[in-house]
């Protein structure tokens, strides 16, 4: 492998090469006229992307996607998006017969502003734009700040971890301005060639997948699909099955531990909770033929720069995430834990520049016009991480063991009995920010752990979401004897907040069952998801004081282990 040797070694190598110390490697490539994609990923360049396609096909594209109950019950994880023929213009340069499809697993699915994959060479052999066959355009549905993804990938790269390049694009479809998207480098062979000597290895994407029985089959092979030789994964499972006294040696034969420690530390440092170490989710891993070892690549960082931990239960130490099996075994190993904390401390000391990160957030806000409220949350994480993570690192000797949970991959079994009906009504008024208030005309019918949920007093509200300015929410919550609040939060785009029936889609229009401490909203836990249904507004308006009345129905699935 060409990178990820540790910060001091990288600095020494760059100095030994006699390169321009004021320019990074990509800038030097650009000066040499080697790679046109360098300019395409210029951080200051706001790309203009225009897509034109048949309106009926655009409507079909927008509505494709999975739904939470089917995925989480294990009955319908696989989904094949349709490529449509389109004319695509990038910075004034037009291409006909370009392949365009929707992208996203669940969290970023949208009918209003779908994330897009653009492939210039699928229908026209060998065609590229700026030396790139593909463009990945993320809709920032879960990143209203526009800053999380690019800033996270940038920090991973500074740590020597293989990470995609990232900047921003202004996207329109059939003349409609869809706003700012994050433009992420597609992790395919061209990217692998930039970082590894050999691009012929297996590349896997993990969504709820891990190196444990059953769950390993959820890893999606992205290269060498015809051969479909997945024995390299079995080798990692075998290494993870040995006793502690053999673990480091066995794991070091199949995983580049030095690179993994940096990857792990950066997931924690950037608050990337929806990740391999945070939830066995949103990552890629490449089996490098040259070293015969796996390297991890970050992905799906739109939830980064956030102290929320949906998948980690009661594990709240800001210096630790250890859901993924490799991290879990290393954290439970005395020497592995020490190596992890040493790496996190090293990288945090060298890379976490609070003033520099805040300045970068300012730059992105000015460039993209991101919502100030969303940037406030982003900046708050940066400043709080500076103190909270340092304090946790200083107390590393007192760090608790990670609370171990089942990692058996049972989600592979199709279990339709996990899905149960849910319905309810609401009657409230719109406010700038949704504030649940008591009222008689609301109800929820669902079951938790096989028992009916029976709230003592149900409160409802309607209004905007401070972290997602384009979303409207309707909370239906109850306060328990322990002071915690729990219940359903209905969500839909503000542009859809009109009288009528609105089909649930991904997390754009849906409901989640949550539990939170009103004194610590960052500690929200998602206990279940609702999909395959609809939210109907009999009265609805975003005018302050306007009545919001309606009902909902769908299918509910409880989150695993809760």
Angle between helices 334-351 and 257-269 (to 10 degrees): 60
State whether 342 and 431 are in the same domain.
Answer: no
More confident call, 465 vs 64: 64
- The answer to whether position 405 is within a domain reads no
On whether residue 285 sits in a domain, the answer given is yes
- The residue ranking higher by pLDDT, 44 or 4, is 44
SS3 189: helix
In a domain, 527, yes or no: yes
Tell me what the pLDDT averaged over the chain comes to: 89
The pLDDT-based confidence of 370 (bands split at 50, 70, 90) is: very high
Identify the pLDDT of residue 437.
80
Q: pLDDT tens-digit profile of 164-180?
A: 999 999 999 999 999 99
User: Is 146 contained in some domain?
Assistant: yes
User: What b/e string do you get for 158-175 counting C-beta neighbours within 10 Å, with b at 16 or more?
Assistant: bbbbbbbbbbbbbbebee
Angle at 260 between CA 256 and CA 261, to 5 degrees: 120
Q: What is the mean pLDDT of residues 349-377?
A: 95
Considering the domain boundaries, does residue 281 fall inside one? yes
Domain assignment of residue 461, given as a range:
415-558
The beta strands (E) that lie in 145-270 are given as 166-173, 176-184, 203-206, 220-221
- Residues 506/106, Cβ–Cβ less than 8 Å: yes
The closest of 465, 416, 441 to 538, measured between CA atoms, is 441
Strands (E), 243-376: 283-288, 293-298
**182 and 219 share a domain?**
no
Clarify whether residues 52 and 181 are in a common domain.
Answer: yes
Q: 293 and 242: one domain? A: yes
pTM of the model: 0.87
**Shared-domain flag, residues 353 and 444:** no
Q: Is 343 in the same domain as 471?
A: no
- Tell me the pLDDT tens digit for each residue of 184-236: 999 999 999 999 999 999 999 999 899 998 789 989 999 999 999 999 999 99
| Residue 303 contacts residue 272 (beta carbons within 8 Å) | yes
Give the percent of the chain with pLDDT over 70: 91
Looking at residue 27, its pLDDT comes to 47
Of all residues in the chain, the percent with pLDDT exceeding 90 is 73
Please state whether beta strands 419-433 and 547-558 pair in parallel, antiparallel, or not at all (unpaired). antiparallel
Q: How far apart are CA 421 and CA 280, in angstroms?
A: 28
Task: Give yes or no: residues 527 and 427 share one domain.
Answer: yes
Looking at the structure, do residues 163 and 39 belong to the same domain, yes or no? Answer: yes
CB 91 within 8 A of CB 48: yes
Q: Is 513 helix (H, G, I), strand (E, B) or coil?
A: strand
What pLDDT does 111 receive? Answer: 94
Average pLDDT over residues 272-292: 96
Q: Are 153 and 205 contained in the same domain?
A: no
Tell me: do 340 and 437 sit in the same domain.
no
Residue 473 near residue 489 (C-beta atoms within 8 A)? yes
Same domain, 148 and 241: no
Tokens of 18: 């006699």
Q: What is the per-residue pLDDT across 422-454, written as a single tens digit (0 to 9) for each? A: 999 999 999 988 878 887 688 999 998 889 998
Contacts of 17 (CB under 8 A, 6+ apart): none
Looking at residue 12, its pLDDT comes to 28
CATH number of domain containing 285: 1.10.1070
**Is residue 58 helix, strand or coil?**
helix
> Does residue 1 lie within any of the structural domains?
no
- Residue that is last in its domain, among 171, 191, 211: 191
Number of domains in the chain: 3
């Amino acid at each position: 492998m060409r990178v990820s040797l540790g910060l001091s070694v990288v600095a020494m190598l760059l100095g030994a090469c006699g390169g321009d110390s004021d320019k990074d490697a990509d800038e030097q490539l650009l000066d040499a006229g080697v790679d046109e994609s360098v300019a395409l990923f210029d951080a200051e360049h706001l790309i203009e992307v225009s897509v034109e396609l048949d309106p009926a096909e655009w409507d079909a594209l927008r509505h494709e996607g999975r739904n939470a109950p089917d995925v989480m019950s294990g009955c319908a994880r696989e989904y094949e998006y349709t490529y449509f023929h389109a004319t695509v213009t990038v910075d004034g340069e037009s291409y006909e017969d370009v392949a365009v499809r929707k992208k996203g697993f669940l969290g970023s699915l949208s009918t209003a502003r779908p994330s897009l994959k653009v492939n210039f060479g699928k229908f026209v052999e060998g065609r590229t734009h700026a030396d790139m066959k593909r463009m990945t355009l993320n809709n920032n549905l879960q990143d209203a700040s526009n800053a999380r993804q690019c800033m996270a990938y940038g920090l991973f790269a500074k740590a020597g971890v293989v990470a995609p390049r990232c900047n921003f694009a202004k996207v329109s479809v059939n003349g409609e301005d869809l706003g700012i998207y994050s433009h992420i480098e597609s992790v395919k062979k061209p990217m692998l060639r930039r970082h590894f000597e050999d691009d012929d290895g297996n590349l896997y994407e993990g969504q709820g997948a891990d190196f444990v029985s059953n769950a390993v089959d959820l890893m999606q092979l992205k290269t060498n699909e015809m051969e479909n030789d997945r024995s390299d994964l079995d080798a990692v499972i075998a290494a993870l099955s040995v006793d502690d006294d053999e673990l480091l040696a066995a794991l070091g034969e199949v995983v580049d531990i030095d690179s993994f420690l940096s990857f792990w530390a950066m997931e924690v440092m950037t608050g990337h909770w929806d990740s391999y170490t945070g939830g066995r989710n949103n990552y890629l891993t490449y089996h490098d033929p040259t070293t015969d070892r796996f390297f991890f690549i970050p992905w799906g960082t739109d939830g980064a720069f956030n102290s929320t931990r949906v998948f980690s239960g009661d594990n709240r130490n800001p210096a630790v995430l250890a859901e993924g099996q490799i991290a879990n075994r290393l954290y439970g190993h005395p020497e592995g834990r020490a190596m992890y904390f040493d790496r996190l401390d090293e990288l945090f000391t060298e890379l976490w520049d609070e003033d520099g990160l805040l300045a970068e957030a300012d730059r992105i806000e000015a460039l993209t016009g991101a919502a100030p409220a969303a940037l406030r949350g982003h900046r708050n994480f940066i400043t709080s991480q500076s103190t909270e993570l340092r304090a946790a690192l200083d107390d590393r000797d007192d760090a608790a063991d990670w609370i171990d949970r089942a990692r058996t991959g049972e989600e592979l079994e199709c279990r339709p009995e996990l899905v149960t009906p849910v319905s309810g009504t609401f009657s409230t008024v719109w406010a700038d920010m949704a504030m649940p208030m008591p009222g008689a005309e609301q109800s929820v019918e669902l079951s938790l752990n096989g028992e009916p949920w029976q709230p003592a007093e149900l409160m409802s509200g309607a209004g905007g979401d401070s972290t997602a300015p384009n979303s409207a929410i309707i909370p239906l919550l109850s306060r328990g004897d322990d002071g915690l609040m729990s219940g359903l939060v209905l969500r839909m785009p503000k542009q859809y907040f009109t009288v009528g029936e609105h089909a649930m889609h991904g997390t754009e229009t849906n409901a989640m069952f949550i539990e939170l401490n009103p004194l610590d909203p960052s500690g929200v836990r998602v206990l279940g998801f609702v999909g395959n249904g609809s939210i109907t507004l009999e009265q609805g308006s975003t005018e302050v004081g306007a009545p919001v009345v309606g009902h909902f129905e769908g299918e509910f699935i409880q989150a695993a282990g809760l």
